[in-house]
Amino acid sequence: MSIVVYWLGQGQPSVQVFADDQLLAALAFAEARRKDRDEAGLALNRHVVISSELGDHVGAPGVSDERPSDYSWTKSHRGGPPESGNPPKTLA
């Protein structure tokens, strides 16, 4: 089991399982569950969520203290000091 869509429909939990190579199908399925409506136009499902753990993920699960020798990224200095002005400089 690598990609799973969970949703609550009429108070009942449901699940649909997809293979690693079915990400687009899983996304489309989750979106369809979000858009399901009854005759009055009210949403049929609540809390639609997709979860994945692909078999070809990079690295072992968890956080590693090992970093490449040329690694120098830090969150506090990733874009330099903020510029003055309104609105302030964004990093996006």
- pLDDT tens digits along 20-74: 889 999 999 999 999 999 999 999 998 999 998 877 766 666 666 677 777 766 6
Residues 6+ apart with CB under 8 A from 53: 2
The answer to whether position 13 is within a domain reads: yes
Question: At residue 14, what is the residue type?
Answer: S
Q: For residue 66, is it within any domain?
A: no
The answer to whether residue 31 sits within a structural domain is: yes
Gap between the Cα atoms of 92 and 61, Å rounded = 28
Distance CA 63, CA 80 (A): 26
Structural domains of the chain, count: 1
Residue span of the structural domain in which 6 resides: 1-54
62 located within any domain: no
- Residue 74: inside a domain, yes or no? no
Contact 26, 32 (CB under 8 A): no
Return left, alpha or beta for 77; rule: phi > 0 is left, psi -120 to 50 is alpha, else beta.
Answer: alpha
Does residue 88 fall inside a structural domain?
no
Residue 59's pLDDT is what?
61
Would you say 5 and 30 are in contact if contact means Cβ atoms under 8 Å apart? yes
Is residue 34 included in any domain, yes or no?
yes
pTM over 0.85: no
Report if residue 70 sits inside a domain. no
> What integer pLDDT is reported at residue 3 of this predicted model?
92
